[in-house]
Amino acid sequence: MKVVTGSIVGAVTDAITVRGLHKAYGKHVAVGGVDLDVRAGEIFALLGPNGAGKTTTVEILEGFRKRTSGEVTVLGTDPQAAGADWRARVGVVLQSTGEFDDLTAREVLQHFATYYPSAADPDEIIARVGLAEHQDRRTRRLSGGQKRRLDVALGIIGRPELLFLDEPTTGFDPEARREFWGLIRELAATGTTILLTTHYLEEAEALADRVGVLTGGRLIAVDTPDRLGGRGEGEATVGWLGPDGPATESTAAPTVLVARLAEQFGGEIPGLTVTRPSLEDVYLRMIGAGE
């Protein structure tokens, strides 16, 4: 399947550049020839089923895992050979982090702030992630969602230029998830580049400027959420309530059909719905074809 990257207008600096990335464990190929560009300042969501190679790819970009072959540049540096100065520019929120049972949330954040040359104010970060009311609570007494907020706070305390978020809203209820989306948008608005992995497709659609689909260790498509896999050009399904009950019709020209129905009904069309393939529909079709 051809990778669709979309057009680029003007000169764009890439925060991440990957060419021919391979990672093998003996005869097992976890990542098999990935090419990827993540533009500075964008939110990029990497999607894929379990075992697709997402975690391996991201850990290579973070400098936590060595690649077998290929070229990788993150913020202008090969993460495999990067030093402390580079790491201070990168924030990482893993699926799970260390436990600090006997420390308060505020004490944990104050401690980690000392590791960075220009850390943000811990009190400001605590407020931004919604932990102000719980900052003096021992972390062992925090709920799962509150611990996840602390993970995010630790990821952004160093004012990173690039932030990796691995399944960041796992354990969040719907209201907390949408509050977190607001925080991510705020970070992006200040110029932070964000690479996000998530199993919540609504999250990718709500946040990402572009998404990439990884399956079987291969990146099979990259595009904006509304155009991925030809989604924007796909047939729409028009539904209405006819004389004999509910009726539907798939068409590439829904406006024409709706106009015809309006004429037929003499105005308002009862029970009218117009739907196009969802991001989930397109994603499931793509990973099925990729596998």
Tens of pLDDT, residue by residue over 184-228, are 898 899 899 999 998 889 999 999 999 999 999 999 999 999 889
Domain ranges of the chain: 14-230, 235-275
CA–CA gap between residue 147 and residue 96 (Å, rounded): 9
Instruction: Enter the pTM of the model.
Output: 0.82
Q: Does 14-230 carry CATH code 3.40.50.300?
A: yes
Write the CA distances from 90 to 99, 116, 210, integer angstroms. 21, 11, 20
Residue of 43, 24, 78 whose CA lies nearest to 192: 43
For residue 181, the SS3 value is helix
Given this model, what pLDDT does residue 97 score?
A: 60
Helix (H) or strand (E) holding 282: helix 279-290
Given this model, what pLDDT does residue 210 score?
A: 97
Compute φ and ψ for 120, nearest 5 degrees: -75, 165
Q: What would the two tokens of residue 269 be?
A: 């069309």
Q: Which residues of the chain have pLDDT under 70?
A: 1-12, 96-98, 289-291
